[in-house]
Amino acid sequence: MTDDRAVSETMGFALIFGVVMLAIVLVSMTVYPAIADIEDHQRVSNVERGMESLADNVDDLVRNDAPSRSTRLRLTEGQFALGEPITVTVNGTDAGGDSFSETQTVRPLVYRSGEGTELVYVNGAVVRDDGDGVVMASEPRLLVSNRSVVLPIVNLQQGSGPSGVEGTMRVVTVRKDARVVVAENTPHDVDISITSPRAEAWRRTFEARDGVTCGPISGDTLTCSVNTERVYVTATDIDVAYR
């Protein structure tokens, strides 16, 4: 009788131990990855807020003639550096057939997380690219309507310091030069073309403006059109360094 009881207790203990171990395995397989995903999302969201602050600071250089600005970013992983250039072209024709054409090359600032998400500052906007879709996290400060086109072009250039940084850092932006490249005060039919791998995000931005129509994206090129009363395009050169 004693031996039977001992065997029963041993089997009971083994069963309980097995149930506990199974619970631990299940928690490891479900809860821990979920926690890791939440932490990854929070890290990227923190960088996104920092990028929006960067956009505000660069806007001070473009619009308010500030000489320089410094933005602190906390990167627990990933890399931050200038990305491949995109192009912005503005064409216009007035009622008399006179026309203008201006093309500018713009380099974006790109943060690439360890999970593949990209946050991109480009020409006043912050774009979030998760691989399966792109959205404007922060809209560019431009005016495109049937009354006015006011388009600032931000040309980022590599300044002093390393070309890319990991970890907590400061992004220092310095205003180098600013110029007016288009100034037309008569009605024009205007086409704005952007060649970018994130053209879809720009489509949604332009189509939300009054009087603007956009054609289909061809390759990476989006062209949007508007008939407007005046056109004003500026270009500002800004050096970018990392500390």
Q: For residue 228, which amino acid is it?
A: T
If one compares 199 and 14, the residue with the highest pLDDT of the two is 199
pLDDT of residue 132: 81
Predicted TM-score (pTM) of this structure:
0.80
Q: What is the torsional sign of CA 122, 153, 155, 222?
A: positive
Summarize pLDDT for 140-163 with one digit per residue, the tens: 989 999 999 999 999 999 876 666
Summarize pLDDT for 83-93 with one digit per residue, the tens: 899 999 999 99
Percent of the chain with pLDDT over 90: 60
pLDDT of residue 9: 59
Whether 46 shows a pLDDT value over 80: the answer reads: yes
pLDDT of residue 161: 64
pLDDT of residue 3: 53
Residue 238's contacts (CB-CB under 8 Å, 6 or more residues apart) are 58, 61, 62, 154, 155, 156, 157, 173, 174, 175, 176
- Reported confidence tier of residue 243, pLDDT bands at 50, 70, 90: confident
